[in-house]
Structure 1
Amino acid sequence: MKIIVTGGAGFLGSRVISELLAAQDAGHLPQQITEVVSLDLTETSVQDPRVSSVVGDIADPELLRRTVDEDTWAICHLAAVLSGGSEEDFDLSHRVNVHATHQLLEAARATGSRPRFLFTSSIAVFGGEMPETVPENLATQPDSTYGAFKAMGELLVNDYSRKGFVDARICRLPTISVRPGRPNSAASSFASGIIREPLQGEASVCPVPLETRMWLSSPNTVVANLVHAVTIEGEQIGRWRVLNLPGICVTVGEMLESLTAVGGQQARDLVTHQEDERIKSIVLSWPGDFDVDRVLELGFARDDSFEDAVRQFHQEFVA
């Protein structure tokens, strides 16, 4: 049996592949997996004899039909055009975030074997007036193209699951911080940049007010939660397969206090403040806190503090 990871060459996808292999080695997967397939525009960096790469266009239905077959136990659909890129290129975002998701679901349906289908969504599906703490059943009202297309994907995946075509797990990701590497096209990219760059001696610009609340999770915790979503039985989630993954509510000002605690005042002094209306319009539409009591009872995890996440990054990539 095999698992397919779309976006498997990316930062998150490559880590999910490695964590899936570790879960297999530890006997934590309910099915014996012999192969993990990365489906992306380039080959994955994960080096393991059980890992293979399919390089191609995620929106190509022929490629999907060749890749997704009766031997597919699970599909982890991580590939997406991110928030900033979606605002800049509506057509590309629709092609990847909506059309390709539909084509992938159709390929899974054609197998007749009801594979597990993990879909990574986003807190960007929310918008408009919201309570201080978002409950599980709050209706989506996206204020961005990215959020709108992710909300469409949620409905598609959930209905394919309701019909018995796939066994869905839909995970709304918190903003991931601190990401290693360089800035990406996400409107929330600054949430890593204002920590990552100063810890490495580089200047960074904060584009939103310091009182902006962020719903954050470290990369390690997000990856562990995604693999947990694959391993648990779908019936534990219920008919509505959407999960708000646990995060922690932190203001941008508190994030910078954590930067100072780990990197010192010299790191904090490298962050300047220059508000960006385009980024603000997207990020300030997202909720900053969620009720995740039920999700925690299902075995998902959250970071103890944002300072711990900053120290995690510093120890792995800077120290």
Structure 2
Amino acid sequence: MHITILGGGGFLGRKLAARLAREGQLDGRRVTALTLFDLNTPVPPAEAPFPIRTLAGDVTDRAALAEAIPPQTEVIFHLAAVVSAAAEADFDLGMKVNLHGTLAVLDTCRTLPKPPRVVFTSSVASFGGGQGAMVPDDGRQVPANSYGAQKAIGELLLQDASRRGFLDAVCIRLPTVMVRPGRPNKAASSFVSAVLREPLLGLPATCPVEEDFAVWICSPRRAVEWFLYAATMDTAPLGLDRGINPPGASVSVAQMLAALPQEARRLVSFVPDTTIQAIVSGWPAAFTAERARRLGFSEQEPLTEVVRAFIEDDLEATRAERATG
């Protein structure tokens, strides 16, 4: 099985690649080759039982995509994106990568001899409703930001491409992923990881929202589990609707801080940021996610385990990266 990860240099792309390299198979089938593609050349896992290609290129470049997605490709993980606050600040860049990049992926899939499975990372930002919303599985996508609109459009394009037989898509509307390793990024939700990651590193952190602000979250481990499941699941029960609201968890900032050691909590201060608040206040904080459970998607682990997983998987590497950066 030949697999391509678009956005293979990002933190979820790296974790997904490492998992594939460690296991060497997907749903009982041997992985024969893996291509990692990103704007900058991705760093491959140290060891793998199959060849790994690493390519740099623009996701809107058809020629670059043709190299990243050769004819034998069976599974494409489309993780490449410009994140929320960056897409809001630069409309043209968001449209280029999030919309036209997805169109370029669709067009490349049409050239393959066999329609590939495409696992597309959409987002809870494609919904509105704010803190009081409990989004049902058939909830209408009314995004309150450009990033969410671009992701919703991408979903519709891939849904129609699946109907026409060009590809076989599963669109996962990712919750806010925490705890992200490394440094803060340009996502509006970056503070969700920062209020845990920075204190665990012994560094101060600021929170732009109130303690009672709630977020629909998932862990990196759970996100990778969902990707792998989506790559091989039976898509017949999905019908035309290829969008999945996976079973994340709704947690408040206060609950996040309570998961920290007491001395670490003292490093978090509350500094309102109206720009961030304007983006994240429209995101719903809870989803029913019953359809995903019926389809076999695994449940999000408790918040204490999310923090423990970051400490086990990423804390020391993040500490080393931040010390040398």
Q: TM-score, normalised by structure 2?
A: 0.92
Contact 1:37 1:51 in 2 (8 A): yes
State the distance in 1 between where 2:66 and 2:315 align: 43
One-letter code of the match for 1:235?
A
Aligned to 1:44: 42
Cα shift at 1:205: 0.1
Aligned to 1:288: 285
Aligned to 2:27: 28
Per the alignment, do residues 251 and 130 of structure 1 end up closer, same or farther by CA in structure 2, a change over 3 Å counting? closer
State the distance in 2 between where 1:258 and 1:278 align: 27
The RMSD of aligned alpha carbons is 1.7
Q: Which moved more, 1:126-135 or 1:48-57?
A: 126-135
Per the alignment, do residues 273 and 249 of structure 1 end up closer, same or farther by CA in structure 2, a change over 3 Å counting? same
One-letter code of the match for 2:192?
A
Per the alignment, do residues 39 and 316 of structure 1 end up closer, same or farther by CA in structure 2, a change over 3 Å counting? closer
SS for the counterpart of 1:201 is coil
SS for the counterpart of 2:134 is coil
Per the alignment, do residues 21 and 239 of structure 1 end up closer, same or farther by CA in structure 2, a change over 3 Å counting? farther
State the distance in 1 between where 2:157 and 2:298 align: 27
State the distance in 1 between where 2:120 and 2:266 align: 39
Cα shift at 1:253: 1.2
TM-superposition CA deviations, 1:84-121 (whole Å, max 9, x none): 11011111111100001101110001114111011100
State the distance in 2 between where 1:130 and 1:161 align: 33
Cα shift at 1:296: 1.8
TM-superposition CA deviations, 1:264-302 (whole Å, max 9, x none): x21111000011011111111111111112212322122
One-letter code of the match for 2:272?
E
Per the alignment, do residues 235 and 130 of structure 1 end up closer, same or farther by CA in structure 2, a change over 3 Å counting? farther
Cα shift at 1:128: 4.1
State the distance in 1 between where 2:199 and 2:228 align: 31
Q: Which moved more, 1:164-173 or 1:128-137?
A: 128-137
State the distance in 2 between where 1:275 and 1:75 align: 39
One-letter code of the match for 1:266?
E
Aligned to 1:249: 250
State the distance in 2 between where 1:294 and 1:169 align: 13
SS for the counterpart of 1:119 is strand
Q: TM-score, normalised by structure 1?
A: 0.93
State the distance in 1 between where 2:243 and 2:308 align: 31
User: May I ask how many residue pairs the two structures share in their alignment?
Assistant: 313
Aligned to 2:121: 120
TM-superposition CA deviations, 1:202-224 (whole Å, max 9, x none): 00000011111100111111111
Contact 1:303 1:309 in 2 (8 A): no
State the distance in 2 between where 1:65 and 1:292 align: 35
Aligned to 2:10: 10
1:49-128 aligned at under 5 Å gives the runs 49-128=50-129
Q: Which moved more, 1:109-118 or 1:125-134?
A: 125-134
2:291 is equivalent to residue 299 of structure 1: no
State the distance in 1 between where 2:131 and 2:195 align: 27
State the distance in 1 between where 2:17 and 2:234 align: 20
Cα shift at 1:318: 4.1
Contact 1:77 1:118 in 2 (8 A): yes
State the distance in 1 between where 2:111 and 2:90 align: 31
Cα shift at 1:317: 3.8
State the distance in 2 between where 1:114 and 1:227 align: 18
Provide structure 1 residue ranges, at least 5 long, that are not aligned to the other structure.
none
Cα shift at 1:234: 1.5
